[in-house]
């Protein structure tokens, strides 16, 4: 195998968004956003409803002023990683 060959992989399909296909992270995502919203004094249900279907950066941008966005993005990323063990495989 040459170096060039190492960059080519023959596949039938690729799943880029595995959530709902290979794994179910709903509980983990909702837990992270609830924790995040509570810290900011926001309505957790409203934040969760907005977050579904949006990238986390879009959700943070929606609720946090520009000066604090990086810090609050880091927080929600950390919360999601902290709760990753609750992600389950789809049947």
pLDDT band at 2 (very low <50, low <70, confident <90, very high): low
Asked whether the predicted pLDDT for residue 1 surpasses 60, the reply is: no
25 vs 50: which has the higher pLDDT: 50
Predicted confidence band of residue 61 (pLDDT cuts 50, 70, 90): very high
pLDDT of residue 32: 95
73 close to 79: Cβ distance less than 8 angstroms: no
Q: Of 56 and 13, which is predicted with more confidence?
A: 56
Question: According to the model, what pLDDT value does residue 6 have?
Answer: 62
Q: Where are the alpha helices (DSSP H) in the chain?
A: 26-40, 44-51, 56-63, 69-82
pLDDT value for 9: 76
pLDDT at 43: 98
Contacts of 29 (CB under 8 A, 6+ apart): 48, 51, 52, 80
């Amino acid at each position: 195998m040459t170096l060039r060959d190492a960059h080519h992989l023959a596949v039938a399909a690729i799943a880029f968004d595995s959530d709902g296909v290979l794994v179910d992270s709903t509980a983990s995502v909702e837990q992270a956003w609830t924790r995040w919203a509570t810290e900011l004094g926001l309505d957790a249900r409203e934040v969760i409803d907005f977050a579904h279907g949006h990238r986390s950066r879009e959700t943070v941008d929606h609720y946090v002023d520009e000066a604090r966005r990086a810090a609050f993005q880091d927080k929600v990323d950390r919360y999601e990683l902290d709760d990753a063990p609750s992600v389950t495989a789809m049947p």
